Structure 1
Amino acid sequence: MTLELYKLPGCPYCAKVETKLDELGVDYVEHEVPSSHSQRDEVEAVSGQTGVPVIVDEEHGVDGMAESDDIVAYLEETYGG
């Protein structure tokens, strides 16, 4: 299973997470979300809120982690090996 990233183009917090994923060589699937929060049903279903970035990492039991700093810390801890 590949990690999934919900993101918005041009979002600096999303870019921070993408940079860390690339740095660690983690394969992931991108889901671009609508710019309007009211149309972000998919993200809300996954994480309970409409902000991005959000990651889903089913292999490690993560289903909808938000907050870029938390995600980066998680990625370093899980994939930094």
Structure 2
Amino acid sequence: MTVRLYALEGCPYCETVSDALDDAGVAYETEWVDGVHSLRDEVKRVSGQRAVPVLVDEARGVTMAESANIVEYVERSLA
């Protein structure tokens, strides 16, 4: 899997990104993160911060946060 989405259950921003990926027909893997912000070490390791959503596109060497930016990237680059 080359596209990975770090997301939190019930997060509306994560759901927006997930919907954009689904609408674009992008195959991706969801990594569910802990609800406790300080325990999101994996997210910190890949993105330098602990907020979600975070999208990692390994094939293109892209790691990004902020749902609006991710949705724009999905629509422009992955759809």
Fold agreement, TM-score > 0.5: yes
Name the TM tier (shorter chain): over 0.9
Structure 2 gap segments, 5+ residues each: none
Q: Secondary structure at the match of 1:56?
A: strand
Distance of 1:28 and 1:37 partners within structure 2: 23
Matches within 5 A, 1:56-75: 56-62=56-62, 64-75=63-74
CA offset digits 1:58-79 (Å, max 9, x no partner): 11110x3000000000011102
Distance of 1:20 and 1:36 partners within structure 2: 26
Sequence identity (%) = 54
Distance of 1:33 and 1:3 partners within structure 2: 16
Distance of 1:77 and 1:24 partners within structure 2: 10
* Alignment match, 1:3: 3
| 1:20 maps onto 2:23 in alignment | no
Structure 1 gap segments, 5+ residues each: none
TM-superposed CA distance for 1:49, in Å, is 0.5
Q: TM-score scaled to structure 2, two decimals?
A: 0.96
CA offset digits 1:5-25 (Å, max 9, x no partner): 000010000000000000000
Q: Secondary structure at the match of 1:60?
A: coil
